[in-house]
Structure 1
Amino acid sequence: MSTKTDDPISRKVSFIHISDTHLGENKDFILYNQNTYQKTTNLIKAINSFSAPVDFVIHTGDVVNEPTKASYELVKDIFSSLNHPILYVTGNHDYPEHISWLNSSNQSGFDLVPLTAGSYHFNYGHYKVLSLDCKGSPQIDPHGDFGYLQEKDLVWFLRRFDDDPKIIFTHFPPVSLDVPWIDREMLLFNGERFHDTLLKYGNNVLGVFIGHIHHRLVLNKDGILYTSAPSPICQFNISPLDQKVAFDCNVPASFNYITLVNNNILIKEITTESP
């Protein structure tokens, strides 16, 4: 008989969720009047000084601002100082092939199984994990697209691991966030179909982790948990009255700390004392 200690269901899995670092080609790149290299450095220092157990870090996209080789080389360099394994998801500012290169070159030790485009899945403990690449065409940017290939991968993943606890990483919010400008300009095209697919096939989906909106947010829709991570560069406004984008760059380094145990999920906001 298994004890509680060696029961995989009762074993804690903890990871850190970050997003939208928008690194440039060099250390002097400025976005929203902020040095993205310095802001990301501050975030990495905050993560490294965090003393709780961390199994891995997930970055849910917009790793760079322009998808050039020099930008991704800088990503590889700066995150080499991170004390934990890191995995990346494709954002609308990223190229899938560059994200695949980062994931294959960071020696994280994960057995990533590629799907179509830049999507992949892997196991961690008894949890099944999907990273779904929903980057759309330039014509619909900054929206993402839940198209035929994405739906095919999602349905396969949900049906293949039907009874297993599952988590999903993607960049774009699939459903309305009750923020007028975000709902108009930033959502995943066919996102309601994404949500309906989870309802139809998504037995035991513990959460969907997103980026793109540069702000921390938690939403439960029809029993599906959606949560986003803040950007270290700036935070977009998310008031239900906001008709156009505004942002606050006077923000401290912060991240989400996620704990999975007994097929339950706990999300904590970890924030440094000053910007």
Structure 2
Amino acid sequence: MIRIAHISDTHITGESAYKGYAYDLIVNDVNRGDFDFVIHTGDVTNQGLREEYERASYELGKIKKPLVVIPGNHDVRNVGYKLFEKFIGPLNGVYEFRDGVVIWVDSTIPDLSDGRVGGHKFRWLKARLEEYSEKKFKIVAAHHHLVPLPDTGRERNVLYNAGDVLDLLLRHEVSLYTCGHKHVPNVYRIEDMVVDNAGCTSCRKTRKGDVNSYNIVTIHDDGRIEVTIKRVTGDKVRKEHRPIKPKIFVPRGERLLRIVQMSESNVSERMYFRRKVLENAIRTINEKLRPDIVIHNGDIVDMGIERYYEKAYEFYEKIKAEKLVVPGHNDITYLGYDLFLEYFGEPEIVEMKGFTFLPVISAQYETPIGVVGRIGQRKIAKHLEEYRENFTVVVLHHNIVPIPRSREVGFLEDAGDVLRTLTRGEANLVLTGHGGNSFAVKVEKTPIVNAGSISWELHRNPFGNSFNLIDVYPGMIVVFEVQATWGSGRLLGIWKVKGPFTP
């Protein structure tokens, strides 16, 4: 068994923002505990100034355990990354422990709050994961959060390439990703990986009146990972993750429902719209796949003008299955909001065969940035509770988790709160369609599937234009991505799910 104390965001300074008594309380708690080592995930200082680093060096010396320290965005202000190396240690590195390894990587961008693990650092991280692939437990530590966090206000200051990093960690079977940055303690399970966010150890800037805290991570020999959020008030919140066994599933029983999911057709007269690809996909859907329902996750037209909507309506009227279309940000440009309602109607709840499809409008006028809003979140929570006996599918345009090959700038500005609403409400499936690339991942008990572009040339998918085929079996969901031109497929995800159809 390995026990780790995870602290973050100390913001050591001579100013009133630093709460030295909270730091000492937590450090004394750590020193008295049976911890194998300590991870500090950044923002050691407040402004990256020399006098702050000098004091930080003294304060960190109070910790009488092996210590791994990662730079944060505040540490690299004022060229503070040079002082970090002088007073604290390397910006990137490896710490080995029994049966495991900690690989820490500098995710900061000088003088910006946003982060990035790009270029050389991404390749360095990949090389280290391959080098230590035989380790039973692999921990990656950085400052910036990997998935949206609740209670952080507007969703910004994320890793620009969070989707690529998330995909890399999952492919290399990383056990734990640990980070800080937003001063909010939080724990998520993403597939078979635990994402551990620490709150702030000794800064006054806490969220919604919270107090200072640190996280206790316990890694058991059988693969179980426990994370306990411990506040200076003594309050504790504990979460445990048991590894997925087995990791290969076989569907059993008859298929209950078939969904075709598509996005970003962007019907238009522009050269980037691939009309024949869309026609071929619709023909394949009608003649070979025969789904129960077709979901379009937005950007059905390239611009909200009438002749584009007329063309889009002609295309999608050919689909024989029931349809549910939610608007994307392109759909409501210009006169698009009124035209969408005229041609496709107000998205309404669809019920069939014990399944309930809950549409959510996230698009806003004239901007790719989306929002659900506090009222919208309460509405989602209410519907998830109301239809708890059914298999619930939430449908919206904007992606909630980061997408590979896409620059993540927080396109859904309240993604953290929305993700919490969906996972707490145990939505059985979430379908999104922003970003031009397909991706699927399970967060807590909720699979989240993003569709790539079905017929728009300007996409980010090496697989080409595509749509998703989702089959639901008793206790299981299987998702394939289908190449829209050739019809070849690849597996995006397969998950066991709990719900009304679990055998």
| Fold shared per TM-score above 0.5 | yes
17, 23, 30: which is aligned to 1:40?
23
Aligned equivalent of 1:240: none
Is 1:93 the equivalent of 2:59? no
Contact 2:146 2:159 in 1 (8 A): yes
C-alpha change, 1:272 and 1:176, in structure 2 (3 Å) is: closer
4, 10, 13: which is aligned to 1:15?
4
Contact 1:167 1:207 in 2 (8 A): yes
Aligned equivalent of 2:65: 84
Contact 1:146 1:194 in 2 (8 A): yes
CA distance in 2, matches of 1:158, 1:149: 14
C-alpha change, 1:180 and 1:45, in structure 2 (3 Å) is: closer
Which string of whole-angstrom CA distances, capped at 9 and with x for unpartnered residues, describes residues 26-55 of structure 1? 3xx112xxx43333233323333x4x3111
211, 214, 217: which is aligned to 2:180?
211
Larger Rg: 2
Aligned equivalent of 2:289: none
The 5 Å alignment of 1:220-235 reads 220-232=189-201, 233-234=203-204
CA distance in 2, matches of 1:128, 1:257: 17
C-alpha change, 1:235 and 1:69, in structure 2 (3 Å) is: closer
Contact 1:131 1:170 in 2 (8 A): yes
Aligned equivalent of 1:71: 52
Amino acid across the alignment from 1:264: R
Is 1:256 the equivalent of 2:200? no
Contact 1:219 1:225 in 2 (8 A): yes
SS of equivalent to 1:226: strand
C-alpha change, 1:231 and 1:180, in structure 2 (3 Å) is: closer
Aligned equivalent of 2:339: none
Gaps of 5+ in 2: 236-503
C-alpha change, 1:234 and 1:40, in structure 2 (3 Å) is: same
Root-mean-square deviation (Å)? 2.3
Paired-residue identity, %: 23
The alpha carbon displacement at 1:155 in A equals 0.8
The 5 Å alignment of 1:158-197 reads 158-164=129-135, 165-177=137-149, 181-183=153-155, 185-197=156-168
Aligned equivalent of 1:30: 16
17, 34, 37: which is aligned to 1:56?
37
State the TM-score, normalized to the length of structure 1.
0.75
CA distance in 2, matches of 1:13, 1:221: 21
Contact 1:208 1:226 in 2 (8 A): yes
CA distance in 1, matches of 2:234, 2:149: 28
Amino acid across the alignment from 1:248: G
Contact 1:234 1:248 in 2 (8 A): no
Amino acid across the alignment from 2:55: L
Contact 1:128 1:167 in 2 (8 A): yes
96, 105, 108: which is aligned to 1:135?
108
Contact 1:65 1:93 in 2 (8 A): yes
**Aligned residue pairs, count:** 228
CA distance in 2, matches of 1:47, 1:182: 33
Which string of whole-angstrom CA distances, capped at 9 and with x for unpartnered residues, describes residues 140-186 of structure 1? x2110121122111210111122322001100012233567352x22
SS of equivalent to 2:109: coil
Contact 2:3 2:34 in 1 (8 A): yes
The alpha carbon displacement at 1:101 in A equals 3.2
SS of equivalent to 1:150: helix
C-alpha change, 1:137 and 1:82, in structure 2 (3 Å) is: closer
CA distance in 1, matches of 2:159, 2:233: 34
SS of equivalent to 2:83: helix
Contact 2:25 2:232 in 1 (8 A): no
121, 125, 129: which is aligned to 1:154?
125
Gaps of 5+ in 1: 1-11, 105-113, 238-246
The alpha carbon displacement at 1:85 in A equals 2.7
C-alpha change, 1:272 and 1:144, in structure 2 (3 Å) is: same
SS of equivalent to 1:189: coil
CA distance in 2, matches of 1:56, 1:100: 20
CA distance in 2, matches of 1:225, 1:274: 24
CA distance in 2, matches of 1:47, 1:198: 28
CA distance in 2, matches of 1:74, 1:180: 29
SS of equivalent to 2:43: coil
State the TM-score, normalized to the length of structure 2.
0.42
